[in-house]
Amino acid sequence: EAGVTQSPTHLIKTRGQQATLRCSPISGHTSVYWYQQALGLGLQFLLWYDEGEERNRGNFPPRFSGRQFPNYSSELNVNALELEDSALYLCASSLGTVSYEQYFGPGTRLTVT
Amino acid sequence: AQKVTQAQTEISVVEKEDVTLDCVYETRDTTYYLFWYKQPPSGELVFLIRRNSFDEQNEISGRYSWNFQKSTSSFNFTITASQVVDSAVYFCALSEARGSTLGRLYFGRGTQLTVWP
- For A49-67, the pLDDT digits (tens) are 999 999 999 999 999 999 9
**CB-based contact, A79 to chain B, within 8 Å:** no
What is the distance in angstroms between the Cα of B49 and the nearest Cα belonging to chain A? Answer: 8
Contacts of B99 in chain A (CB under 8 A): none
Interface test with A, best of B104, B109, B111 (most A CBs within 10 A): B104
Nearest CA in chain B to A41: B109
3-state SS assignment for residue B70? helix
**What pLDDT score does B55 carry?**
87
CA distance B109 to B96: 18
* Residues B36, B65 contacting (CB under 8 angstroms): no
Q: Does the beta-carbon distance from A43 to B103 stay under 8 Å?
A: no
* Residues A67, A49 contacting (CB under 8 angstroms): yes
Q: pLDDT band for position A94 (50/70/90)?
A: very high
- pLDDT tens-place string over residues A1-39: 789 999 999 999 999 999 999 999 999 999 999 999 998
Q: Which of A31, A92, A98 is closest, CB to CB, to B97?
A: A98
What is the distance in angstroms between the Cα of B41 and the nearest Cα belonging to chain A? Answer: 11
Report the pLDDT averaged over residues B71-78: 96
Q: Does the beta-carbon distance from B105 to A33 stay under 8 Å?
A: yes
- pLDDT tens-place string over residues A64-93: 999 999 999 999 999 999 999 999 999 999
φ, ψ of residue B95 in degrees (nearest 5): -130, 135
CA distance A5 to A97: 20
Nearest CA in chain A to B52: A99
**What pLDDT score does A25 carry?**
96
* Residues B103, A55 contacting (CB under 8 angstroms): yes
Q: Does the beta-carbon distance from B105 to A104 stay under 8 Å?
A: no
Q: Does the beta-carbon distance from B45 to A48 stay under 8 Å?
A: no
Average pLDDT, chain B: 93
How much of chain B exceeds pLDDT 70, in percent?
Answer: 100
CA distance A90 to A101: 15
Torsion angle, CA of A90/A31/B104/A101, rounded to 10 degrees?
Answer: -90
Report the pLDDT averaged over residues B32-57: 92
Q: Reduced to 3 DSSP states, what percent helix, strand and coil does chain A have, rounded to the nearest 5? A: 5, 55, 45
Q: pLDDT band for position A99 (50/70/90)?
A: low
Q: Which of A88, A97, A102 is closest, CB to CB, to B102?
A: A97
**What pLDDT score does B75 carry?**
96
Q: Does the beta-carbon distance from A105 to B44 stay under 8 Å?
A: yes
**What pLDDT score does A97 carry?**
66
The amino acid present at A73, given as its one-letter code, is S
**What pLDDT score does B27 carry?**
93
φ, ψ of residue B105 in degrees (nearest 5): -105, 125
Tell which residue, A5, A84, A24, A97, has the closest CA to residue B44: A5
Query: Which residues partner with B100 through β-bridges?
Result: none
Residues 6 or more apart in contact with residue B71 via CB below 8 angstroms: none
